[in-house]
Amino acid sequence: MQIKPSDFRIRPGKHVKLGKWPTRVAPCYRSKRHSARLLADHGRELSRLQDLLFADHRHALLLIFQGMDASGKDGAVKHVMAGVNPQGCQVTSFKVPSSQELAHDFLWRTNRRLPARGDIGIFNRSYYEEVLIVRVHPELLDRQDLPAGLADRASIWAGRYRSIVELEKHLRRNGTRILKFFLHLSKGEQRRRFLARIDEPAKNWKFSLADVAERRRWADYRAAYEDCLGATSTAAAPWYIIPADDKPNARLIISRIICGELAGLHLSDPRMTRPQRAALRAARRSLTR
Protein backbone atom coordinates (compact mmCIF):
# COMPACT_ATOMS: atom_id res chain seq x y z
CA MET A 1 0.00 0.00 0.00
CA GLN A 2 1.27 3.44 -0.90
CA ILE A 3 0.83 5.93 1.94
CA LYS A 4 -1.41 8.86 0.99
CA PRO A 5 -1.76 11.29 3.91
CA SER A 6 -5.10 12.51 2.57
CA ASP A 7 -6.57 9.04 3.17
CA PHE A 8 -6.16 9.54 6.93
CA ARG A 9 -6.80 13.30 7.28
CA ILE A 10 -10.14 14.56 8.60
CA ARG A 11 -11.49 17.28 6.35
CA PRO A 12 -12.43 20.53 8.14
CA GLY A 13 -16.05 20.55 9.21
CA LYS A 14 -16.52 16.82 8.65
CA HIS A 15 -18.65 14.99 11.19
CA VAL A 16 -16.65 12.04 12.49
CA LYS A 17 -18.08 8.57 13.08
CA LEU A 18 -15.19 6.37 14.18
CA GLY A 19 -17.06 3.23 13.17
CA LYS A 20 -16.55 4.26 9.55
CA TRP A 21 -12.77 4.62 9.96
CA PRO A 22 -10.76 1.37 9.89
CA THR A 23 -8.49 0.34 12.75
CA ARG A 24 -6.45 -1.80 10.32
CA VAL A 25 -5.59 -1.28 6.64
CA ALA A 26 -3.53 -3.15 4.07
CA PRO A 27 0.09 -2.96 5.26
CA CYS A 28 2.63 -0.90 3.33
CA TYR A 29 5.36 -3.44 4.15
CA ARG A 30 5.94 -7.03 3.05
CA SER A 31 7.64 -8.42 6.16
CA LYS A 32 8.98 -7.43 9.54
CA ARG A 33 12.41 -6.84 8.02
CA HIS A 34 10.94 -4.73 5.23
CA SER A 35 8.99 -2.68 7.78
CA ALA A 36 12.16 -1.99 9.76
CA ARG A 37 14.01 -0.96 6.60
CA LEU A 38 11.24 1.41 5.51
CA LEU A 39 11.08 2.99 8.97
CA ALA A 40 14.87 3.43 8.96
CA ASP A 41 14.61 5.14 5.55
CA HIS A 42 11.94 7.46 6.91
CA GLY A 43 14.13 8.12 9.95
CA ARG A 44 17.08 9.20 7.81
CA GLU A 45 14.82 11.52 5.80
CA LEU A 46 13.35 12.94 8.99
CA SER A 47 16.84 13.53 10.42
CA ARG A 48 17.85 15.41 7.27
CA LEU A 49 14.70 17.52 7.38
CA GLN A 50 15.17 18.21 11.08
CA ASP A 51 18.64 19.62 10.38
CA LEU A 52 17.12 21.90 7.75
CA LEU A 53 14.31 22.92 10.12
CA PHE A 54 16.90 24.00 12.67
CA ALA A 55 19.12 25.78 10.13
CA ASP A 56 16.18 27.52 8.44
CA HIS A 57 14.91 28.63 11.89
CA ARG A 58 11.61 30.06 10.66
CA HIS A 59 9.27 27.22 11.58
CA ALA A 60 8.53 24.92 14.51
CA LEU A 61 6.78 21.56 14.32
CA LEU A 62 4.33 20.37 16.99
CA LEU A 63 3.22 16.72 16.94
CA ILE A 64 0.25 15.72 19.08
CA PHE A 65 -0.51 12.07 19.88
CA GLN A 66 -3.87 11.03 21.33
CA GLY A 67 -5.59 7.68 21.60
CA MET A 68 -7.19 5.12 23.88
CA ASP A 69 -5.05 3.34 26.45
CA ALA A 70 -2.64 0.88 24.76
CA SER A 71 -3.14 2.46 21.34
CA GLY A 72 0.63 2.75 20.86
CA LYS A 73 1.35 6.42 21.52
CA ASP A 74 4.59 5.78 23.44
CA GLY A 75 5.83 3.28 20.86
CA ALA A 76 5.03 5.60 17.97
CA VAL A 77 7.03 8.41 19.56
CA LYS A 78 9.92 6.07 20.38
CA HIS A 79 10.22 4.42 16.97
CA VAL A 80 9.22 7.23 14.61
CA MET A 81 11.48 9.78 16.28
CA ALA A 82 14.38 7.40 16.98
CA GLY A 83 16.73 9.04 14.47
CA VAL A 84 16.20 12.71 15.30
CA ASN A 85 18.70 14.89 17.13
CA PRO A 86 17.52 15.12 20.77
CA GLN A 87 18.91 18.64 21.04
CA GLY A 88 16.19 19.86 18.69
CA CYS A 89 13.33 17.67 19.89
CA GLN A 90 11.40 17.74 23.16
CA VAL A 91 8.82 15.17 24.25
CA THR A 92 6.28 16.09 26.91
CA SER A 93 3.90 13.54 28.42
CA PHE A 94 1.02 15.26 30.18
CA LYS A 95 -0.29 13.50 33.27
CA VAL A 96 -2.77 14.58 35.95
CA PRO A 97 -2.58 18.39 36.32
CA SER A 98 -0.77 19.75 39.37
CA SER A 99 -2.36 22.27 41.75
CA GLN A 100 -0.32 25.03 40.09
CA GLU A 101 -1.55 24.00 36.64
CA LEU A 102 -5.15 23.83 37.83
CA ALA A 103 -4.85 27.43 39.06
CA HIS A 104 -4.43 28.61 35.44
CA ASP A 105 -6.51 28.34 32.28
CA PHE A 106 -6.61 24.89 30.71
CA LEU A 107 -4.12 25.78 27.96
CA TRP A 108 -1.47 27.25 30.27
CA ARG A 109 0.50 24.11 31.09
CA THR A 110 0.78 23.01 27.46
CA ASN A 111 1.59 26.50 26.13
CA ARG A 112 4.68 26.51 28.33
CA ARG A 113 6.01 23.48 26.44
CA LEU A 114 5.47 24.65 22.87
CA PRO A 115 8.50 24.24 20.59
CA ALA A 116 10.70 27.18 19.60
CA ARG A 117 11.40 27.96 15.96
CA GLY A 118 13.77 25.37 14.54
CA ASP A 119 12.61 22.68 17.00
CA ILE A 120 10.20 19.74 17.06
CA GLY A 121 7.86 19.45 20.03
CA ILE A 122 5.94 16.27 20.81
CA PHE A 123 2.91 16.15 23.08
CA ASN A 124 2.09 12.62 24.28
CA ARG A 125 -1.45 13.52 25.30
CA SER A 126 -2.09 17.25 25.33
CA TYR A 127 -4.58 20.03 25.97
CA TYR A 128 -7.09 17.76 24.24
CA GLU A 129 -7.36 15.81 27.51
CA GLU A 130 -9.46 18.77 28.70
CA VAL A 131 -12.22 17.88 26.23
CA LEU A 132 -11.75 14.11 26.47
CA ILE A 133 -11.05 12.69 29.93
CA VAL A 134 -12.58 15.74 31.60
CA ARG A 135 -15.68 15.31 29.46
CA VAL A 136 -15.97 11.62 30.34
CA HIS A 137 -15.32 12.50 34.00
CA PRO A 138 -16.98 15.93 34.37
CA GLU A 139 -16.43 15.81 38.13
CA LEU A 140 -12.85 16.81 37.32
CA LEU A 141 -14.17 20.26 36.42
CA ASP A 142 -14.86 20.81 40.12
CA ARG A 143 -11.09 20.85 40.77
CA GLN A 144 -10.60 23.70 38.30
CA ASP A 145 -12.44 26.33 40.40
CA LEU A 146 -14.03 27.99 37.40
CA PRO A 147 -16.29 31.00 38.05
CA ALA A 148 -20.01 30.38 38.35
CA GLY A 149 -21.55 29.93 34.93
CA LEU A 150 -18.30 29.12 33.12
CA ALA A 151 -18.41 25.44 34.04
CA ASP A 152 -21.83 24.88 32.51
CA ARG A 153 -21.76 21.26 31.32
CA ALA A 154 -23.90 22.08 28.29
CA SER A 155 -21.65 24.77 26.80
CA ILE A 156 -18.12 24.39 28.15
CA TRP A 157 -16.97 21.87 25.54
CA ALA A 158 -17.92 24.04 22.56
CA GLY A 159 -16.10 26.93 24.22
CA ARG A 160 -12.99 24.84 24.73
CA TYR A 161 -13.07 23.62 21.14
CA ARG A 162 -13.17 27.25 20.06
CA SER A 163 -10.22 28.16 22.32
CA ILE A 164 -8.19 25.25 20.93
CA VAL A 165 -8.95 26.09 17.29
CA GLU A 166 -8.08 29.75 17.84
CA LEU A 167 -4.81 28.83 19.58
CA GLU A 168 -3.80 26.50 16.76
CA LYS A 169 -4.59 29.11 14.11
CA HIS A 170 -2.51 31.63 16.07
CA LEU A 171 0.41 29.22 16.20
CA ARG A 172 0.16 28.54 12.46
CA ARG A 173 0.20 32.29 11.75
CA ASN A 174 3.41 32.51 13.76
CA GLY A 175 5.30 29.70 12.09
CA THR A 176 4.34 26.56 14.04
CA ARG A 177 3.06 23.64 11.98
CA ILE A 178 0.82 21.25 13.89
CA LEU A 179 0.13 17.60 13.08
CA LYS A 180 -2.35 15.73 15.28
CA PHE A 181 -2.52 11.94 15.31
CA PHE A 182 -5.41 9.95 16.77
CA LEU A 183 -4.29 6.33 17.07
CA HIS A 184 -7.49 4.47 16.25
CA LEU A 185 -7.51 1.17 18.16
CA SER A 186 -10.23 -1.47 18.14
CA LYS A 187 -11.67 -2.63 21.44
CA GLY A 188 -10.64 -6.20 20.68
CA GLU A 189 -7.03 -5.22 20.02
CA GLN A 190 -6.95 -3.18 23.23
CA ARG A 191 -8.11 -6.29 25.14
CA ARG A 192 -5.35 -8.36 23.53
CA ARG A 193 -2.69 -5.81 24.47
CA PHE A 194 -3.97 -5.55 28.04
CA LEU A 195 -3.84 -9.34 28.42
CA ALA A 196 -0.27 -9.36 27.05
CA ARG A 197 0.70 -6.80 29.69
CA ILE A 198 -0.70 -9.09 32.37
CA ASP A 199 0.59 -12.40 31.00
CA GLU A 200 4.11 -11.33 29.99
CA PRO A 201 6.24 -10.45 33.06
CA ALA A 202 8.38 -8.01 31.08
CA LYS A 203 5.25 -6.01 30.31
CA ASN A 204 3.66 -6.06 33.77
CA TRP A 205 4.90 -2.57 34.54
CA LYS A 206 2.83 -1.18 31.66
CA PHE A 207 -0.45 -2.37 33.13
CA SER A 208 -2.64 -0.30 35.43
CA LEU A 209 -5.87 -1.41 37.06
CA ALA A 210 -7.22 2.02 36.17
CA ASP A 211 -6.97 1.02 32.50
CA VAL A 212 -9.63 -1.65 33.03
CA ALA A 213 -11.93 0.85 34.73
CA GLU A 214 -11.50 3.33 31.88
CA ARG A 215 -12.18 0.55 29.34
CA ARG A 216 -15.69 0.30 30.76
CA ARG A 217 -16.22 3.88 29.52
CA TRP A 218 -15.21 2.96 25.95
CA ALA A 219 -18.45 4.26 24.41
CA ASP A 220 -18.17 7.54 26.33
CA TYR A 221 -14.58 8.09 25.18
CA ARG A 222 -15.50 7.20 21.62
CA ALA A 223 -18.29 9.80 21.61
CA ALA A 224 -15.97 12.41 23.14
CA TYR A 225 -13.33 11.71 20.48
CA GLU A 226 -15.86 11.89 17.66
CA ASP A 227 -17.06 15.33 18.74
CA CYS A 228 -13.53 16.58 19.41
CA LEU A 229 -11.99 15.36 16.16
CA GLY A 230 -14.78 16.80 14.06
CA ALA A 231 -14.76 20.16 15.84
CA THR A 232 -10.99 20.74 15.84
CA SER A 233 -9.63 19.35 12.55
CA THR A 234 -8.81 22.45 10.52
CA ALA A 235 -6.64 23.40 7.58
CA ALA A 236 -4.27 25.04 10.08
CA ALA A 237 -4.02 21.94 12.28
CA PRO A 238 -5.46 18.76 10.77
CA TRP A 239 -6.25 15.57 12.60
CA TYR A 240 -5.10 12.26 11.13
CA ILE A 241 -6.91 9.06 12.13
CA ILE A 242 -4.19 6.40 12.15
CA PRO A 243 -5.26 2.71 12.01
CA ALA A 244 -3.49 1.48 15.13
CA ASP A 245 -4.20 -2.27 15.34
CA ASP A 246 -1.01 -2.90 13.30
CA LYS A 247 1.78 -1.06 15.14
CA PRO A 248 4.47 -1.22 12.41
CA ASN A 249 2.02 0.05 9.80
CA ALA A 250 0.84 2.86 12.08
CA ARG A 251 4.42 4.02 12.62
CA LEU A 252 5.17 4.02 8.90
CA ILE A 253 2.05 6.06 8.16
CA ILE A 254 2.89 8.58 10.88
CA SER A 255 6.52 8.94 9.82
CA ARG A 256 5.51 9.43 6.16
CA ILE A 257 3.05 12.18 7.11
CA ILE A 258 5.65 13.98 9.23
CA CYS A 259 8.30 13.84 6.51
CA GLY A 260 5.79 15.07 3.95
CA GLU A 261 4.82 18.04 6.11
CA LEU A 262 8.44 19.09 6.64
CA ALA A 263 9.30 18.60 2.98
CA GLY A 264 6.37 20.84 2.07
CA LEU A 265 7.97 23.73 3.95
CA HIS A 266 10.74 23.87 1.30
CA LEU A 267 13.38 24.32 3.99
CA SER A 268 16.91 25.34 3.11
CA ASP A 269 20.16 26.35 4.72
CA PRO A 270 20.32 30.14 5.26
CA ARG A 271 21.89 32.03 2.37
CA MET A 272 24.97 33.98 3.30
CA THR A 273 25.00 37.68 2.52
CA ARG A 274 27.95 39.28 0.78
CA PRO A 275 29.30 40.79 4.04
CA GLN A 276 28.93 37.41 5.78
CA ARG A 277 30.86 35.64 3.01
CA ALA A 278 33.58 38.30 3.24
CA ALA A 279 33.77 37.75 6.99
CA LEU A 280 34.13 34.00 6.44
CA ARG A 281 36.97 34.52 3.97
CA ALA A 282 38.72 36.80 6.46
CA ALA A 283 38.27 34.21 9.21
CA ARG A 284 39.71 31.52 6.98
CA ARG A 285 42.76 33.62 6.17
CA SER A 286 43.41 34.19 9.86
CA LEU A 287 43.15 30.45 10.56
CA THR A 288 45.58 29.46 7.78
CA ARG A 289 48.39 31.92 8.48
pLDDT confidence tier of residue 148, bands split at 50, 70 and 90: confident
pLDDT for the residue 3: 86
Instruction: Give the chain as a 3 state SS string.
Output: CCCCHHHCECCCCCCCCHHHCCCCCCCCCCCHHHHHHHHHHHHHHHHHHHHHHHHHCCCEEEEEEEECCCCCHHHHHHHHCCCCCHHHEEEEECCCCCHHHHCCCCCHHHHCCCCCCCCEEEEECCHHHHHCHHHHCHHHHHHHCCCCCCCCCCCHHHHHHHHHHHHHHHHHHCCEEEEEEEEECCHHHHHHHHHHHHHCHHHHHHCCHHHHHHHCCHHHHHHHHHHHHHHHCCCCCCEEEEECCCHHHHHHHHHHHHHHHHHCCCCCCCCCCHHHHHHHHHHHHHHCC
Average pLDDT over residues 260-271: 92
pLDDT for the residue 149: 77
Q: Looking at the predicted structure, is the pLDDT value of residue 186 above 70?
A: yes
Query: Rounded distance, CA 119 to CA 117, Å?
Result: 6
Query: Rounded distance, CA 240 to CA 198, Å?
Result: 30
Q: Which of 225, 156, 214, 182 is nearest to 15 (CA)?
A: 225
pLDDT for the residue 150: 81
- CA-based torsion, 207, 76, 167, 104: positive or negative: positive
pLDDT for the residue 1: 66
Residues 81-90 have pLDDT tens digits of 998 999 999 9
Average pLDDT over residues 30-50: 96
Average pLDDT over residues 175-196: 97
Q: Looking at the predicted structure, is the pLDDT value of residue 12 above 90?
A: yes
Number of residues in the chain: 289
In terms of Cβ atoms closer than 10 Å to its own Cβ (0-12, 13-18, 19+), residue 65 is: buried
Average pLDDT over residues 115-122: 98
- Please enumerate in sequence order all residues whose Cβ is within 8 A of that of 163, keeping only pairs 6 or more positions apart, or say none: 106, 107
Average pLDDT over residues 163-184: 98
Average pLDDT over residues 182-198: 97
Q: Looking at the predicted structure, is the pLDDT value of residue 280 above 90?
A: no
Question: To the nearest whole percent, how much of the chain has pLDDT over 70?
Answer: 100
pTM for this predicted structure: 0.93
Number of C-beta neighbours around residue 179 at 10 A: 21
Structural domains for the chain: 5-287 (3.40.50.300)
pLDDT confidence tier of residue 2, bands split at 50, 70 and 90: confident
Q: What is the mean pLDDT of the chain?
A: 95
Q: Looking at the predicted structure, is the pLDDT value of residue 25 above 80?
A: yes
Distances in whole angstroms, Cα of residue 258 to Cα of each of 11, 100, 179: 18, 33, 8
In terms of Cβ atoms closer than 10 Å to its own Cβ (0-12, 13-18, 19+), residue 112 is: exposed
Query: Rounded distance, CA 273 to CA 267, Å?
Result: 18
pLDDT for the residue 268: 87
